[in-house]
Amino acid sequence: MRIKSRSQRIGDWIIVLLCAFVIFICLLPMVNILARSLSSPQALMRNEVLLWPKGLNFDAYQYVLKDKTYTWSMTWTAILTAIGMTLSLVMTTICAYPLIYPQLKGRRFINTFIIFTMYFNAGTIPMYLLLKDLSMLNKPIVLIVPYCLSVFNMIIMKSFFYSIPDSLRESAQIDGAGPVMVLVRIYLPLSTPVIATLALFYAVGRWNGFQDALMFMNVRKYYPIQLLLYNLINAISSIEVAIQEGFSTPGLNETIKTASVMFATVPILLVYPFLQRYFITGATLGAIKE
């Protein structure tokens, strides 16, 4: 094993320290929110909380967990995320897979047309009018179908498919396998890293999404958790609303805000460790060649 020189070891330590600093900067807001959610209202009013809770209490979490609005919104968001992620992966796959076949007529035009949509789109108002004409407004489907395909993710999957040797596809075709069988038996089993990576992208995007619900959904029953938090934070900032809702303890509204944020953030964070081993592989292999 080659022994590193002194300058190389110093360089390695500098990289480690830089990475540790970046990790600290990324974790700082989350740690601060957690500390504030577990602190007493009085400590928050005195602005004493930074990275460690002061006057430890769980009143805000008890309030959030007892409220059926939060628990249903969390359940609905999980259902929405699972359905949306599955549909998005299916749409991404069936869009990317045909484009790897050289004999596909108009392939270059289709590629150009799809990429064009990454940079130019009609905008919010035409989208609203279209969904209105399709009678999709204020229905659960409006949170699933309109944004079920990401062109960026499709390009990643298509590039990954390109990285699979053509000889595998050709040998399967010689044995009589059709395009669907080749996809199911060869490409999908070899694409576990990129599928897991895109699943994480779609799941995080759907879990954190609220703008589509804000614009296209007026039925409170179908509010995802992020829109519920958006409305809560805006409403609870008003003194009048806080009094009406019974937040009579000074500073309690701030702990409820932070507890609600943690309540909505932790579930999606728990998913990442299970997909992390595929994440780097999928994100890098998908960009090898076009």
pLDDT of residue 243: 47
Nearest to 147 by CA among 224, 88, 93: 88
Note if the pTM is more than 0.75: yes
Q: What is the mean pLDDT of the chain?
A: 81
Q: Which amino acid is at 136?
A: M
pLDDT of residue 290: 43
Contacts of 196 (CB under 8 A, 6+ apart): 275, 278, 279, 282
Cβ-contact 205, 115 below 8 angstroms: no
For 271-282, write each residue's pLDDT tens digit: 777 666 666 665
Looking at the predicted structure, is the pLDDT value of residue 284 above 80? no
Q: Which residue has the higher pLDDT, 117 or 253?
A: 117
Looking at the predicted structure, is the pLDDT value of residue 106 above 80? yes
Q: How far apart are CA 251 and CA 43, in angstroms?
A: 8
For 242-255, write each residue's pLDDT tens digit: 444 444 454 556 77
pLDDT of residue 240: 44
Q: In terms of CATH, what superfamily is 59-285?
A: MetI-like (1.10.3720.10)
Percent of the chain exceeding pLDDT 70 equals 87
Tokens coding 230: 């958006």
The alpha carbons of the chain give a radius of gyration, in whole angstroms, of: 24
Q: How far apart are CA 285 and CA 276, in angstroms?
A: 15
For 146-179, write each residue's pLDDT tens digit: 888 889 899 889 988 888 888 888 888 888 888 8
